[in-house]
Structure 1
């Protein structure tokens, strides 16, 4: 019988809190538990505190997860809620991604100040983005545009945009939906032309591998199609040693027990691009992602990665 509140770890941004509350609400519904049986524990991460430099300069994706994972490992937290695209491909010993909530919109969105669409921005416009993938894709479509690193919470980036620091910025549609801000979008980008980051739009829940009780609780809210798709995309990323230093895009779609994956790697200037597509069974999701990563790496050649991984 559960008597102590389950401790759910999260970062403190409005988006992270929205994701933690969605996780709590789904667990409440799945198990008939009242809200008081859950405690949302807010932790500040290094990635939240250091916002004046690119992630690649200060250590990569793990800066958004380290403090949460330390408390998971020590038993102070029962689970931690993350944006899946923020998760490193290698997790600390003893931890795993136990469940994924149903995936939201995978697209990127333009929020334009001087023009509504990426292609309509004036020659030489400035676009702010913290993502090397978005930066490379912007440069691929609009080599004339100046792209600057633009970190901070969604609200911070929108304030910088309103102040005129840039002509436009790009954000994930899923995050804007969760914050109730979809109305500010001036252009939804087609994933075929502007593919998302691996695992974009999916909320994941991390816990201890050996915690049978918590894993059983989370199994009830795990969305299998999202689990399979993100497993494939993360395997693709892992095969390419993907991190915040590498412009990599990937999207897996499932249909019954069939899985279709398409991936892309780019140079940071967006001028050299290699694509890969593969399909198979959802049961082979991890193998398919790894195979796609190995194949596109072989196509690109070792010289492709020199100087930017």
Structure 2
């Protein structure tokens, strides 16, 4: 078919790789289709001097891109799903999720250290409250250094600041051909991934039936089930970037295993749980796990950090 599809994307190397990858998937499925990139800088890219939790949360990476869709300047947008809030703007939908890349975290050390070989008082970099909480709950002696910027920038800062290492998403490192930087891939039992980690989110206008049809072949049913469970957990907890929160689902032979936690940023309290059920129950499983976590202390943590009204009242 002869048609141009405009893809809105951030300008970071990883975001551009992701947008081009989706473009290649589209043109492979639809001979004659052409794509162009609408490159944008978001608030999250501009405000790099402070932690995300203090400047408005992860939605800062998607707002301008979503507005480009709503304004008709782009036909689709490609995001890292973990950057997206649990509620989408009216008029937009998550039209397709391709096959998930490895969702695990990875530890990158300039000197090849692994987590269990870190010396006392080691300095570790991360821009994630979730990863900070995990590290602090595991090793109280570690010093966490805030790192912002794209993947390459954070790796360079790790070297420049003389840090023992940093924790990054394995998926991003793989996509950028930077697996050589990895000292250790972290099991979900050690570092439970963020909601949607490793998943590309392809967004379009709800009313754009033609674009939705074009995106249909890119949808992966198993990935959709997993992220439905994870995002149901996120939505029920109303989690943003002010509280450490994780949610990761695996799907095997139609069965879903969802694990999640809510913690305090200093790692002194982590409320964790898990549920199992069928793929058809994905949404309900996410909501059920959220209710379980809220009833066991997550509600108090969320209230303490500005998420009023969640969990049992004291």
- The bucket for the TM-score relative to the shorter chain is over 0.9
> For 2:262 and 2:149, how far apart are their aligned partners in 1?
25
After superposition, residues 113-192 of structure 1 pair within 5 angstroms as 113-114=110-111, 116-192=113-189
RMSD: 1.4
Which of 188, 193, 196 is the equivalent residue of 1:196? 193
Q: Is the 8 A contact 2:6 2:38 kept in 1?
A: yes
Matched, 1:46 2:43: yes
Contact 2:258/2:286, CA 8 A, preserved across alignment? yes
- Name the counterpart of 1:268: 265
Provide the C-alpha distance between the structure 1 equivalents of 2:262 and 2:112, rounded to a whole number of angstroms. 28
CA-CA distance at 1:120 after TM superposition: 1.3
CA distance in 1 between counterparts of 2:299 and 2:183 reads 39
8 A contact 1:264–1:274 mirrored in 2? yes
Tell me by how many angstroms 1:165 deviates.
4.3
Q: How many residues align?
A: 306
1:107 equivalent in alignment to 2:89: no
Cα distance, 1:32 vs. partner? 2.2
* 2:70 is equivalent to residue 68 of structure 1: no
Paired position in structure 2 for 1:21: 20
Question: Partner of 1:254 in structure 2?
Answer: 251
Following the alignment from structure 1 to structure 2, what is the Cα–Cα distance between the partners of residues 304 and 49?
30
TM-score by length of 2: 0.94
The ranges of structure 1 where at least 4 consecutive aligned residues each deviate by more than 4 angstroms after the TM superposition are none
Q: Does 1:236 align with 2:233?
A: yes
Q: Which runs of 5+ in 1 are unaligned?
A: none
Normalization by structure 1: what TM-score? 0.95
Give unpaired runs (5+ residues) of structure 2: 307-314
8 Å CA contact 1:110–1:187 kept in 2: the answer is yes
**Which residue of structure 1 aligns with residue 274 of structure 2?**
277
Distance in structure 1 (CA, Å) of the matches to 2:203 and 2:298:
35
- Give the Å deviation of 1:308: 2.4
Name the SS of the counterpart of 1:63 in structure 2.
helix
CA contact (8 A) 2:125 2:167 kept: yes
Matched-pair contact (CA < 8 Å) for 1:114–1:121: no
**Equivalent pair of 1:89/1:234 in contact (CA under 8 Å):** yes
Q: Is the 8 A contact 1:27 1:33 kept in 2?
A: no
Identify the residue that residue 225 of structure 1 maps to in structure 2: 222
Asked whether the equivalents of residues 113 and 168 of structure 1 are also in contact (C-alpha less than 8 Å), the reply is: yes
Secondary structure of 2:147's partner?
coil
* 123-132 vs 259-268, which moves further: 259-268
Partners of 1:45 and 1:66 within 8 A in 2: yes
Instruction: Quickly say closer, same or farther: Cα 1:33–1:259, change in 2 above 3 A.
Output: farther
